[in-house]
Amino acid sequence: MDRVIIGLEIHAQLRTDAKLFCECSAKYRDIEPNTNLCPTCTSQPGGKPMSINGRALENLEKLAIALGAKFEPSFYFMRKHYFYPDLPSNYQRTSTPIASDGMLRNVRIRELHLEEDPGRYELRNGEVDLNRSGVPLVEIVTDPDMRSPEEARLFLQELQAINDYIDSVREEPGSMKIDANVSLAGGNRVEIKNINSFKGVVSALTYEITRQSNLLRNQKTVAMETRHYSEKQGITMSLRKKETSEDYRYVPDPDMLGYDVDGQEVEKLRKGMPELPAMKVKRFVAKFGIKEDDAEVIAGERALADFFEGYAKAKKFDCVKLAQWLRGDLKKQLNYRNLAFGCSKVDRKTMELLLEKYFSGKLTDRTMEQILIAMLDGKFESSMLGQEKISDTGYLEEIANKVIGQETKAAGDYRKGEEKAINFLAGKVMKESRGRGDIRVVLEILKKKLGMGTD
Ligand SMILES: [Zn+2]
Per-residue pLDDT tens over the stretch 360-383: 888 888 889 989 999 999 888 878
C-alpha 43 to ligand 1 mean position (Å)? 9
C-alpha 84 to ligand 1 mean position (Å)? 19
- pLDDT at position 34: 95
* Region 384-407 average pLDDT: 84
Quick one: pLDDT band at residue 310, thresholds 50, 70, 90? very high
C-alpha 203 to ligand 1 mean position (Å)? 37
C-alpha 261 to ligand 1 mean position (Å)? 25
C-alpha 40 to ligand 1 mean position (Å)? 5
Q: Does the structure show a pLDDT above 80 at 20?
A: yes
C-alpha 181 to ligand 1 mean position (Å)? 33
C-alpha 27 to ligand 1 mean position (Å)? 11
C-alpha 18 to ligand 1 mean position (Å)? 9
C-alpha 51 to ligand 1 mean position (Å)? 12
- pLDDT at position 395: 82
If we measure between CA atoms, which residue out of 103, 196, 193, 98 comes closest to residue 146? 103
- What are the structural domains of the chain? 4-270 (no CATH), 277-380 (no CATH), 393-450 (1.10.10.410)
C-alpha 130 to ligand 1 mean position (Å)? 10
Quick one: pLDDT band at residue 454, thresholds 50, 70, 90? very low
- Residue-wise pLDDT for 97-131, tens only, equals 999 999 999 999 999 999 999 999 988 898 999 99
**Side chain identity at residue 186, one-letter code:** G
C-alpha 50 to ligand 1 mean position (Å)? 10
Quick one: pLDDT band at residue 94, thresholds 50, 70, 90? very high
Q: Does the structure show a pLDDT above 70 at 174?
A: yes
| Interatomic CA distance for residues 225 and 235, integer angstroms | 15
- pLDDT at position 306: 95
C-alpha 58 to ligand 1 mean position (Å)? 20
C-alpha 116 to ligand 1 mean position (Å)? 12
C-alpha 37 to ligand 1 mean position (Å)? 4
Higher pLDDT, 345 or 147: 147
Q: Phi, psi at residue 243, to the nearest 5°?
A: -85, 155
Burial 384-419 (b: 16+ CB within 10 A, else e): bbebebbeeeeebbebbeebbeebeebbebbeeeee
C-alpha 14 to ligand 1 mean position (Å)? 16
- pLDDT at position 455: 43
Higher pLDDT, 95 or 431: 95
| Interatomic CA distance for residues 184 and 2, integer angstroms | 6
C-alpha 78 to ligand 1 mean position (Å)? 19
Q: Does the structure show a pLDDT above 80 at 27?
A: yes
Nearest 10 degrees: Cα torsion 88, 91, 94, 95: -120
C-alpha 450 to ligand 1 mean position (Å)? 80
- Residue-wise pLDDT for 381-393, tens only, equals 878 877 777 777 8
Find the length of the chain: 455
| Interatomic CA distance for residues 143 and 5, integer angstroms | 10
- pLDDT at position 453: 44
The burial class, CB within 10 Å (0-12 / 13-18 / 19+), for 13 is: buried
C-alpha 118 to ligand 1 mean position (Å)? 12
- Residue-wise pLDDT for 50-92, tens only, equals 889 999 999 999 999 999 999 999 999 999 998 888 999 999 9
C-alpha 335 to ligand 1 mean position (Å)? 38
What protein residues have CB closer than 5 angstroms to ion ligand 1? Answer: 22, 24, 38, 40-41
C-alpha 25 to ligand 1 mean position (Å)? 8
**Side chain identity at residue 258, one-letter code:** G
Check: CB of residue 237 under 8 Å from CB of residue 184: no
C-alpha 35 to ligand 1 mean position (Å)? 10
C-alpha 325 to ligand 1 mean position (Å)? 49
- pLDDT at position 437: 84
| Interatomic CA distance for residues 230 and 268, integer angstroms | 43
- pLDDT at position 23: 94
* Region 2-15 average pLDDT: 94
If we measure between CA atoms, which residue out of 260, 265, 264, 273 comes closest to residue 67? 273
* Region 21-25 average pLDDT: 95
C-alpha 32 to ligand 1 mean position (Å)? 15
* Region 257-263 average pLDDT: 92
Higher pLDDT, 367 or 181: 181
